[in-house]
Chain A
Amino acid sequence: KNQVEQSPQSLIILEGKNCTLQCNYTVSPFSNLRWYKQDTGRGPVSLTIMTFSENTKSNGRYTATLDADTKQSSLHITASQLSDSASYICVVSLSGGSYIPTFGRGTSLIVHP
């Protein structure tokens, strides 16, 4: 069964600190992996998307990495801000024309001043 597991489930850090969120997946055959940010009360918004051939992608202070061999991805947030408080969701899609992605349950990040 295709699965996406995220860790930690929740994380609390101080403003200005860095943090790394993890995503492990068993989805195969792999097409692409996306990280979404979901603010409380809003829909998820895409941060990064990586295909099989890419191993890193940045979006401002967010940097995603992908190791397709070990089926692991991470999202690194640099110099965290209060506005980074949100849920971060890892999403993996199959290749072969499937448009039904597999979602992780998300990591809830709280940034304290």
Chain B
Amino acid sequence: DAGITQSPRHKVTETGTPVTLRCHQTENHRYMYWYRQDPGHGLRLIHYSYGVKDTDKGEVSDGYSVSRSKTEDFLLTLESATSSQTSVYFCAISVQAGGGTDTQYFGPGTRLTVL
């Protein structure tokens, strides 16, 4: 699992409330990612980070913000949760696999329900 943990693992919240999900890695990898996974859509990139305080948007970034103040932690914040953000959220890291390739390792996921 490349030392990736996510917290919380499950969360139920109400529309309009802020929510923060945490991803923690133990191996100091540079690249970290947040994805959401919904039926029929597969994994979609929300935001990613290429270093401390260096982040960029993915394809579904609206309504989400991220922060990375330490190498090991990547936080995803839903500023005002909506029902459309009910999903399973996965954190991932990118590990160099040699030969110029990289492999992503995923965390166990956070199931978020917005009522």
A residues neighboring B (CB under 8 Å): 31-32, 34, 41-46, 49, 51, 89, 91, 93, 95, 99-101, 103-106
Contact at B45–A100, with CB atoms within 8 Å?
A: yes
Chain B hits for A104, CB < 8 A: 42
A69–B52 Cα distance when bound, in Å, is 39
Q: How far is the CB of A27 from chain B (nearest CB, A)?
A: 14
Contact at B42–A43, with CB atoms within 8 Å?
A: no
Contact at A99–B108, with CB atoms within 8 Å?
A: no
> A46 with B103: in contact, given A89-B42, A99-B50, A103-B43 (CB under 8 Å)?
yes
Listed by A's residue number, 15 A-B pairs whose Cβ atoms lie within 8 Å are A31-B100, A43-B1, A43-B107, A44-B90, A49-B101, A51-B99, A51-B100, A51-B101, A93-B101, A99-B48, A100-B45, A103-B42, A105-B40, A105-B41, A105-B42
Interface residues of B, dominant DSSP: strand
A43–B109 Cα distance when bound, in Å, is 6
Chain A hits for B108, CB < 8 A: 42-43
Instruction: Please name the residue on chain A nearest to B30 by beta carbon.
Output: A99
Q: Kindly identify which residue among B40, B90, B94 contacts A99, using a CB–CB cutoff of 8 Å.
A: B94
Chain A hits for B48, CB < 8 A: 99-100
A59–B50 Cα distance when bound, in Å, is 30
Chain B hits for A95, CB < 8 A: 100
Contact at B31–A31, with CB atoms within 8 Å?
A: no
Instruction: Please name the residue on chain B nearest to A87 by beta carbon.
Output: B42
Q: Kindly identify which residue among A31, A51, A89 contacts B43, using a CB–CB cutoff of 8 Å.
A: A89
List residues 1-56 of chain B with CB under 8 A from any CB of chain A.
Answer: 1, 31, 40-45, 48, 50
Instruction: Please name the residue on chain B nearest to A45 by beta carbon.
Output: B106
Chain A hits for B40, CB < 8 A: 105
